[in-house]
Amino acid sequence: MILFIKTIVCLFSLIPLSIYATESNLMPKPRVIVTTDGEGDDRCSMNRFLLYTYQWQVEGLIYSSSKHHWKGRGDIPGFKWHNTSWIEDQIDAYAKVYDNLIQHQSDYPKPEDLKQRIFVGNIDLDGDMEHPTPGSDHIVNILLDANSSPVWMQAWGGPNTIARALKTIEEDHPGRMADVSKKAKIFLIAEQDQTCKEYILKTWPEVEIFQSSRTYLAIAYRWREHMSPDVQVYFGKEWLKENILVDHGPLCAMYEPRPDGTFRSEGDSPAFMHMIDVGLRTLEHPTFGGWGGRFERRVDRWRSAPDDDDMFKPILRWAIAFQNDWAAKADWCVKSFAEANHPPVVMLDHPTDIVAKAGEQIQLRAMNTQDPDGDTFSFKWWRYEAPGTYAGPVDIQNVDTPVATFTLPVDGIVGQTIHLICEVTDTGTPPLTYYQRVVVTFGE
């Protein structure tokens, strides 16, 4: 029996039907606060981040410290501190390409609005959370506002400014701690000071914490050690020069490669790449996985999880796609809509979640997939094994067509899941790949 489910599919059906939908008029955008210690790779990450700001409601861009970088206080000298003006400098460059960017996506935030959200947080010392700062107070205001949507607080350095904000709420608004615990989400890149361990986990055990423990190293300073040669091309000198650094406007010209012209590091980018909506439904559940990696629950937080026993694969399996997508965004800085490429819109002809009995045949359909530039595109249906709970083999037929089929294995147990990805790549320049994820659950 063919399982066939009719549904009404809108133009933006690649957007997950969740509270985190990024372009649907029905759902709010994810709320994002970035805290950063200003390291070189933070500055590279911010450069890419600005090209994706249309995806989110950017609530704050906050200077903070870490065990690697701090300003200093009194007799205690600073350590490898940059400054508290580099975010403003990048947004000044963003302002010069803003009018071109909004030709491609009207939701890019105005430069002046982004500047109003820049604050200096707790920067004096490693793990500094002794006193409130404009940055920590701003986080307090966001966490206490009337909007109950989750606030994703990204710690590109240490989480000390976030910790100070939570301490202020504990001290001044103890009756709001339960509400804030439901609203606050913290994304750590490693653990760059002790404030999470020594304060947040002890005092705020209900706050959901994500930590990219090792997986972020896939695109950090020693990226060559983890990438295959075919992927390294997209991080090399010639690729970076052609697609980002030269003739792509003042913002991309500020990007900081290594002295040899190759990719430097973006160890902090997984914090926001996890939130880039390309149809993978990453914000629906930490185990799903996407451009920012995949997670599993370990004791007190969600930590990086491997794919096929490889800690770097959860990011690198998507690397060519996200580098090409970044190159397209760089084109948006200088090219007209007609000159640039835009991603295909992957449209399923059925829901993204299917429940069926073992032994049933499932038809997967994406016949209404479109491309805004009129490009042709190719299909690839594949099983993403790691997020699913059914461990046996699955045989998908017609994987390179818009209609694929497979039979649910007869040994599946009720409640087990299989994750299937519809991957669509257009023929534009650069070629762009977007997705839809279908989760099939064994039913009774």
Q: Could you read off the pLDDT of 23-56 as tens digits, one per residue?
A: 334 568 999 999 999 999 999 999 999 999 999 9
CB 44 within 8 Å of CB 326: no
Phi-psi region of 342 (alpha: psi -120 to 50; beta: other; left: phi over 0): beta
Residue whose structure tokens are 């439904």: 281
According to the CATH classification, is domain 31-274+306-332 in 3.30.1540.10?
no
Range in 22-31, 140-149, 362-371 the model is least confident about: 22-31
Q: What angle is formed at CA 9 by the lines to CA 4 and CA 14, rounded to 5 degrees?
A: 105
User: Nearest-CA neighbor of 314 among 426, 168, 214?
Assistant: 214
**CB proximity list for 77: less than 8 A, separation 6 or greater:** none
Exposed e or buried b per residue across 169-179, where buried means at least 16 C-beta atoms within 10 angstroms of its C-beta: beeeeeeeeee
pLDDT of residue 364: 98
The residues of the chain that CATH labels 3.90.245.10 are 31-274+306-332
Q: pLDDT above 90 covers what percent of the chain?
A: 94
Distance of CA 381 to the CA centre of its chain: 23
Q: What is the pLDDT of residues 78-114, one digit of tens each?
A: 999 999 999 999 999 999 999 999 999 999 999 999 9
Q: Cα–Cα distance between 361 and 121 in angstroms, integer?
A: 56
| CA–CA distance, 418 with 374 (Å, rounded to integer) | 32
Q: How would residue 11 be classed by pLDDT, with cut points 50, 70 and 90?
A: very low
Considering the chain, tell me which residue range(s) the CATH 2.60.40.10 domain(s) occupy.
Answer: 2-9+343-442
Which carries the bigger pLDDT value, residue 8 or residue 77?
77
- Give CA–CA dist 157/196, Å, rounded: 12
Residue 144 has pLDDT above 90, yes or no: yes
Determine the pLDDT at residue 28. Answer: 86
**Per-residue tokens: 129:** 């959370």
Distance in angstroms (rounded) separating the CA atoms of residues 263 and 244? 11
DSSP 34-65: EEE---HHHHHHHHHHHTTGGGSEEEEEEE--
Q: To 5 degrees, how large is the angle CA 302–CA 305–CA 308?
A: 165
Q: Which two tokens stand for residue 264?
A: 């430097």
Range of lowest pLDDT (14-28, 186-200, 304-318, 397-411):
14-28
Helix, strand, or coil here: 210? strand
HSE on the CB side for 430, CA within 13 Å?
21
Mean pLDDT in residue range 173-188? 98
User: Mean pLDDT over all residues of the chain?
Assistant: 94
pLDDT at residue number 424: 98
Across 422-443, b (16+ Cβ under 10 Å) vs e yields bbbbbebebbbbbbbbbbbbbe
The answer to whether residue 21 scores a pLDDT higher than 70 is no
Please state which architecture CATH assigns to domain 2-9+343-442: Sandwich (2.60)
pLDDT recorded at residue 10: 31
Q: Mean pLDDT over residues 344-357, rounded?
A: 98
Query: pTM score, two decimals?
Result: 0.93
C-beta separation of 352 from 440 below 8 A: no
pLDDT in tens, 259-295: 999 999 999 999 999 999 999 999 999 999 999 999 9
Q: Would strands 301-304 and 208-212 be described as parallel, antiparallel, or unpaired?
A: parallel
Determine the average pLDDT of the residues in 63-74.
97
Cis peptide bond N-terminal to 430, omega within 30:
yes
9 pLDDT exceeds 80? no
